[in-house]
Structure 1
Amino acid sequence: MRIDSSTARSRELGGELRRIRLASGKLACDVARDLGWSTSKVSRGETGQRGMSQVDLAMLLAKCDADPDDIRRLLELHADLDNGYWVRPVGGVMNPALRSLITQENTACALTNVELQVIPGLAQTEDYARALFHEVGTLDEDAIEAAVQTRMERQNLFSHRRRDRPRTLFYIHEQALRLPVGSHQVMRDQMLHLLLLGNLDFCTIRVVPVSAGARGTFVGPFLLFEYVEHNPVVYVDIKTAAVFLERKEDVATYRQALGRLGAVSLSEGQSRELLAALASEYDLPGDDDDDRPDG
C-alpha cells in the first residue's frame, strides 16, 4: 500500500480546514470556484497531502467565515516546520498539545501506550481521573471538571458505536497499579475497569512487573500511533510541551524499546490475574482508605 507524504501537522491542519468548511455549509467545489482554484486543491489541502501558502490559507479561512481565533491558531499551526520534530505547547484544559493528541488518536488504526507511574488517560475511570487531577493540585475545581470531561470524551474512541476502533495495546507498570490515587473504592473500580477493557477484542493490557527491575523502566511514557496510509507517529509528553516524532530513525528507536518492554512484561493472562488480585486486595473489608496493596 502506498504511504502518503502527509505529516501529523499537515493532517491536523487539513482536518481543521474541513471542519470549518463543513460548519460554514459550503461545498469544496463552491469554495474552489470562488477562489479560482481546482476542487482537488481544496480536497488535498483538507487531507494534509498538499502544502498551502499562508496567503492561500488565510483566503480559504476567510471564504469559510472562520472565527478570528481559529484563523490565528491555524496560521500559527501552518508556520510550524515539518522537520520530523513537532513541538506543541502544554497549558490549559484544551491546549494545543492535547488537541493534536486527540487528532492522532482518532485517525490511528492502532496505538500502543506505555505508562510507568499512573494509569493511562485512555484507560482511566472518571473517579480516578478526578482524584488524580485533585492530587496533582495545579487546577481549580472548574478546570478539573472540564479536564475530566475531556478525558472521558477521549475514551469515545473505544465506543461500541465506532466501527473503526483502533487496535490498542497498553503497557502499564505495576507501580502505577499500586500507586494510591483517591480512595480504596476508586482504586478497586479502576482495577475492574482495566479488567473489562482488557477483555475487549481490540484491546490488550500487559503489566510491567516490579520484578523486571530497571529493564521495565528504561523508557519513559509515550504513545505510538500507526495508520493505514500514513507513516507512524510517536507522542512524548515532557510536561511543559509535547513532541510528535515522525523521523524513521526515531520511530525505530521506540519500536525497539517496545520489543524490550514486551520481553519483560507479563502475558495477557498473567496481567489479568494480577489485576483481579489487586481488585480483591483493594476490596478487603475493614481496610482504611490510606492502606494500599504493597506488593
Structure 2
Amino acid sequence: MHAKDEKFTSSIKRRELGAELRRIRERAGYQAATMASKLNWAHSSISRLEAGITKAKEGRVGFYLGWAKATTAEFDRLVALDRQPDDGYLARLHPAGCPDGLLVVTLLDTESDSFTTYDPRGIPRHLQIEPYIRTVLTKFRYQDGPALDAAVQDRLDRQTSWTRRHGPFTFYISETALPANLAVAHEQLVHLSILSSLPHCHVRLVLAGDSTAEFCTGFTLYRHDEHPPVLHLQAPTASLFLERPGDIAFYESQLEHLANLALSRRETREWFTRTLADIERHLEQDQPLTQGRDEASLEARE
C-alpha cells in the first residue's frame, strides 16, 4: 500500500499516449510544426506531449485528435487513456507468449538507455534464435503457418534495436534454459557466445543448483535518462508495467541477489565454451545430453 500523498509522475502511460498521437499526426501528413500552428500551441508543447514528458491539460488530447483526423475508435480509446489515473502501473493483454507487439514494449525496447532482464524458464526474447522462438511459441499453441512465421519474424526484427545502443544490457540466464534439442541448443549457445563478446552485452549464467526458487516470474527493468525506470512483468497472456519507486526498489534488490548468485561474464563465456564442446561431442556420438550436463562439466564448474 502506498501513501495517498506520495508524489508520483507516471511515465509509461504518457509515452504510450504520446506515441499514438505522433502516429496519428504523421498518418494525417502533418509535420509537428504544422500541428502546432493548427492548434495554436508552442512547437515544444507538441514535442513534449508526443515524447510523454508532459501531461496535456484537460481536453487538449481530444482537441489534438480532432485536428489530426483520428477515427472515432481512436478518439474514444486515447481520450480514455489520457483520463486514466497516473497510479504507477499499466496492464496490457497480448497474444500468448508474445508481448513483442505491444506499443509499450516497443517503446521500452527501442528507447531505453539500458535494461536488465531475467527469465527463470528460458532464454530472454531479446537473445532468442529463430528455431528457439519457434519452439517457445509452439508451446503456446501456435501452429505451423503464416501466423507462426509472422510472430517469429517480428521477434527477430525487433532484436537489433538494443544492439545499436551503448547500454549496458544485462541478461541473467538460467542453466536450464537451453532446449532439449541438441542442434537448437548448439545454435543458441553459439549465438549467446557471440553476443556476450560485445562490450555492452552482459550475459551471466545462473546455475541450476543455486537457490533461485523465489524468482518464479521473469522480469525486465528498463532505464531511460529522461524517464523514470519501468519494470516489465510478463505473464503468458498479459504484461504488467510498474513505475512506483517502492516497486522498482524491490526488483532492484532482486537483481542484486541475482548478481551475487550468477557466474561472472568471463565464467559464463567459459561455461558456454565447455557446454558447446559437450554438445558437439554428444552430437557426434548421437547421444542425448542430460539437463544437468555430464559429470565432467559439473566438475569443471566447481
Q: Tell whether the structures are fold-level matches, with TM greater than 0.5.
A: yes
Give 2:214's match in structure 1, choosing from 200, 218, 223. 218
Deviations 1:174-211, CA, capped at 9 Å, x for gaps: 1113x42xx32111000110000100111011000112
Structure 2 spans left out of the alignment, 5+ residues: 1-7, 293-302
2:169 aligned residue? 168
**Cα offset, 1:49, TM superposition:** 2.4
Distance 1:280 1:94, change over 3 A: closer
- Residues 1:258 and 2:255 aligned together: yes
Is the 1:281–1:293 Cα contact (8 Å) retained in structure 2?
no
2:204 aligned residue? 206
**Cα offset, 1:76, TM superposition:** 4.6
Is the 2:117–2:219 Cα contact (8 Å) retained in structure 1?
yes
2:113 aligned residue? 109
Task: Give the letter for the 1:265 counterpart.
Answer: A
1:273 aligned residue? 270
2:5 aligned residue? none
Classify the secondary structure of the residue corresponding to 1:112.
Answer: strand
Distance 1:239 1:294, change over 3 A: closer
- Residues 1:148 and 2:152 aligned together: yes
Structure 2 CA distance for aligned equivalents of residues 165 and 105 of structure 1: 13
Give 2:245's match in structure 1, choosing from 233, 245, 248. 248
**Cα offset, 1:25, TM superposition:** 3.0
Classify the secondary structure of the residue corresponding to 2:209.
Answer: helix
Structure 1 CA distance for aligned equivalents of residues 143 and 82 of structure 2: 30
**Cα offset, 1:19, TM superposition:** 3.1
Classify the secondary structure of the residue corresponding to 1:207.
Answer: strand
Task: Give the letter for the 1:171 counterpart.
Answer: Y
Structure 1 spans left out of the alignment, 5+ residues: none
Structure 1 CA distance for aligned equivalents of residues 73 and 208 of structure 2: 47
**Cα offset, 1:72, TM superposition:** 5.0
Is the 1:93–1:143 Cα contact (8 Å) retained in structure 2?
no
Percent of pairs with identical residues? 30
**Cα offset, 1:22, TM superposition:** 3.1
Structure 1 CA distance for aligned equivalents of residues 289 and 78 of structure 2: 47
**Cα offset, 1:32, TM superposition:** 2.3
Is the 1:116–1:217 Cα contact (8 Å) retained in structure 2?
no
Structure 1 CA distance for aligned equivalents of residues 61 and 12 of structure 2: 18
Give 1:234's match in structure 2, choosing from 220, 228, 231. 231
Classify the secondary structure of the residue corresponding to 1:235.
Answer: strand
Deviations 1:28-86, CA, capped at 9 Å, x for gaps: 23222222333333222112122236743233223223455644553453343320111
Distance 1:208 1:93, change over 3 A: closer
Deviations 1:117-141, CA, capped at 9 Å, x for gaps: 1111000001111122123324562
**Cα offset, 1:234, TM superposition:** 0.6
2:194 aligned residue? 196
- Residues 1:16 and 2:17 aligned together: no
Structure 2 CA distance for aligned equivalents of residues 97 and 246 of structure 1: 21
Deviations 1:209-266, CA, capped at 9 Å, x for gaps: 1121x3x232221000011121111100122321111010110000001111111111
Distance 1:148 1:18, change over 3 A: same
Structure 2 CA distance for aligned equivalents of residues 205 and 116 of structure 1: 14
Distance 1:187 1:276, change over 3 A: same
1:84 aligned residue? 88
